[in-house]
Amino acid sequence: MLTFILKKLFYGLLVLLGVVLLVFILFQGFGDPARLVMGQTGNAATEAAIRKELYLDQPKSSQFFHYLNDISPVSFYRRSDWKERAVGGIALGGERVLVLKTPYLRRSYQTKRPVGAMLLQALPGTLLLALAAMLIAVLIGIPLGMLAAVRKGSWVDSTAIFTSILGISAPSFFMGIIIAYLFGFVLSDWTGLSLTGSWSAIDMNGQRRLTLQNLILPALTLGIRPLAIITQLTRSALLDVLQQDYIRTAYAKGLSRSAVLWRHALPNALNPVITAITGWFAELLAGAFFIEYIFGWQGIGKLTVDALEKLDFPIVMGAVLLSATFFIVINILADILYGIVDPRVRVK
């Protein structure tokens, strides 16, 4: 299993390297970073200093390797300037030092704050939203799929199939607008829900408190598509498993229907469901941009959209790299979960 995990990590690093190259090519070619940092005011000396700091006075290939060196946890710097790019890092060596650090994602063009700190500040909001949306999808989708499989051909099965097709077909941004308008505006007096709001607020005493009421609408909107897919996959996988010989053997041994379903059928039908859950969780972390923007939810998505409007490309680049990292890590965790849930795919 250790060899398998190390191999997956190696492939994940290769994918991440490709993402870094693609992101650098896409965003470093737009506008003049020195002008964006300097703003409307500034002189030639200031512009030259900014260009030197951002390595803009060097060829594109050198700029890429400097960027790769910044975002790598193991980097090489001159001793004179490593502290700026490796906050809290450990330096080893003489004039050229080997630094162990957290990835340095540069600084925002607009606020001059470190991009890593800004993303970490916005990350709890996105994680909370994605977890809530996936919790809704799993807690409703798996029982609904089981019910549809057990009662195949009934009105329950037909209703589950029809609603799941609608859920898969409806784009998230469209459903977000409809749900926000209907429950956050038209019916707000009955629902008590607001059109926009974040996961925390400042009370009368100046203390920050958790406001989960604002989480309901964006989490419901974000969870519709994974809910529909999990329902369909659970139904299809369970129908296939229920035709197997060991299910008939379990019934012949006198086991109850609930025991057969929960102890024998469901665990063997969970592989495609786990794939959907893990894949969609990564998708929710990376794809909540429009939902966060529609509902004013303070997370990485809203931060990235705001940065795009202001041409603040370091934030956009950092958000894309963070999303890619989530995809890779969650896919590795999914492969490990396969072996835990289903002994047939365990790696010796």
Q: Quickly state the pLDDT bin for 284 (edges 50, 70, 90).
A: confident
CA neighbours within 13 Å on the CB side: how many for 207? 3
How confident is the model at residue 139, as a pLDDT? 92
* Closest CA relative to residue 50, chosen from 11, 94, 105, 107: 107
Is the pLDDT at 300 greater than 80? The verdict is yes
- Buried b / exposed e across 151-185, counting CB within 10 Å, b at 16+? eeeeeebeebeeebeebeeeebeebbeebbeebbe
pTM of the model: 0.78
Average pLDDT over residues 266-280: 78
How far is residue 217's CA from residue 223's CA, in Å, rounded to a whole number?
A: 10
Average pLDDT over residues 133-149: 89
- Domain spans of the chain? 72-104, 115-202+209-345
Is the pLDDT at 85 greater than 60? The verdict is yes
Instruction: Output the CA angle 142-143-148, nearest 5 degrees.
Output: 100
Is the pLDDT at 346 greater than 70? The verdict is no
How confident is the model at residue 345, as a pLDDT? 58
Average pLDDT over residues 264-279: 78
The percentage of the chain sitting over the pLDDT mark of 70, rounded to a whole number, equals 87
Residue 134 near residue 220, CB atoms below 8 Å: no
Q: Which of 89-98, 105-114, 192-201, 339-348 has the highest mean pLDDT?
A: 105-114
What topology does CATH give the domain 115-202+209-345? MetI-like fold (1.10.3720)
The per-residue pLDDT for range 249-267, each reduced to its tens digit, is: 888 887 777 788 887 788 8
Q: Which amino acid is at 66?
A: H
How confident is the model at residue 42, as a pLDDT? 64
Q: Which amino acid is at 12?
A: G
Is the pLDDT at 341 greater than 80? The verdict is no
Q: Quickly state the pLDDT bin for 340 (edges 50, 70, 90).
A: low
* Closest CA relative to residue 153, chosen from 219, 234, 235: 235
